[in-house]
Amino acid sequence: MALISFVLADGSQHDIEAAEGTSVMEAAVAHNLPGIDADCGGACACATCHVYVASDWVERLPPRAEQEEKMLEFAIGTRKNSRLSCQLCVSAEFNGLQVEVPESQY
């Protein structure tokens, strides 16, 4: 398990335990976290699970794959630390990860 902190657009923080082997998006959806729409169910086909990774975590995560890069072109307000949470597969090393959920996915 890894404890992941989600900071919503309203500033509230939600700490969620995520099982290894699941995605950050799946953990958010399983806990009914608002702001992670996940319209495609994790197929990297919609960009509605867009998050901003805390700056101290950017280099600690695997790099974006080409498909994720392409899908992020459709997300609103992308930044250098933008990721699709469906593409972040949880491992023990993710313990303490902090992500910010954008105000809107559309």
- Does residue 32 form part of some domain? yes
Question: Within 10 A of 25 (CB to CB), how many other CB atoms are there?
Answer: 27
Q: What is each CA distance from 106 to 54, 56, 77, in whole angstroms?
A: 21, 26, 10
Residues 52-77 as b/e (b if ≥16 CB within 10 A, e otherwise) read: bbbeebeeebeeeeeebeebbeebee
- Does residue 48 form part of some domain? yes
CATH code of residue 13: 3.10.20.30
Q: Is the pTM of this model over 0.85?
A: yes
Number of domains in the chain: 1
Backbone angles phi and psi of 58, in degrees to 5? -55, -50
What is the reported pLDDT for 106? 77
Q: pLDDT tens for residues 77-93?
A: 999 999 999 999 999 99
- Does residue 106 form part of some domain? no
The whole-number average pLDDT for the span 83-105 is: 97
The range of the structural domain enclosing residue 59 comes to 2-100
